[in-house]
Structure 1
């Protein structure tokens, strides 16, 4: 009789271990494949004068896209890296060779070239 209770206890223990194994394996898989991108919603443009600071993060193993985080007056926003403004900001960032002390240069408003005035004689 003692053998039957021992056998049933071992079966119960194996059943519990199997359930624990499968439940922990699924939750671990879900966590390891989750993307950790900070920018979920992106905007295509923001007024240049409202941008106080910015951060550009290149593609990473857990986030497969370039992220441009903007610090606006009082809030944060994410800029679409494929938009016209996003491409300009990335181009300037590469031009200054990723120097964080010079990154304010990229925020200066660029003057648009209008029609040239004819020279006086």
Structure 2
């Protein structure tokens, strides 16, 4: 009788340790997937003429912020989406309706015109 009780306790212990193993393994995987943002450090602005391409990644369950990745000649830089340049790029991206074929339009620097220049009078 004592053997059956011991065997029952061992079976229960084995079952509990197996459940505990699977519970902690899934929990660890869930924690490691929480924040998978590509942009760790962000810059406030970059010269427009140096940008060759860009990617805007919207918020998603894996990263809770908008990410703007700029391709410069030979390297990638993350742009702060809250900066003036970041907001301007996002507005243009929305205006072209997220069309990747037209995204180069957003890189063209448009100069503001204050009207025709008049010659200086002395």
Q: TM-score range by the shorter chain?
A: 0.7 to 0.9
**Which residue matches 1:43?**
43
**Which residue matches 1:93?**
93
**Which residue matches 2:81?**
81
Q: Distance in 2 between matches of 1:24 and 1:64?
A: 24
| Distance change >3 Å, CA 16–CA 49, structure 1 → 2 | same
- How far 1:36 moved relative to its partner? 1.9
What do residues 69-120 of structure 1 show as CA deviations (whole Å, max 9, x unaligned)?
A: 111110111111100100111111122222211211111222254685227x
Is it true that 1:16 corresponds to 2:23 in the alignment?
no
Q: Distance in 2 between matches of 1:109 and 1:90?
A: 15
TM-score between both structures, scaled by the size of structure 1? 0.78
- How far 1:48 moved relative to its partner? 0.8
Q: Distance in 1 between matches of 2:76 and 2:87?
A: 19
Aligned residue pairs: how many? 118
TM-score between both structures, scaled by the size of structure 2? 0.77
- How far 1:26 moved relative to its partner? 3.1
Q: Distance in 1 between matches of 2:88 and 2:19?
A: 55
**Which residue matches 1:103?**
103
Q: Distance in 2 between matches of 1:60 and 1:98?
A: 16
Unpaired segments of 5 or more residues in structure 2? none
Q: Distance in 1 between matches of 2:56 and 2:116?
A: 36
**Which residue matches 1:60?**
60
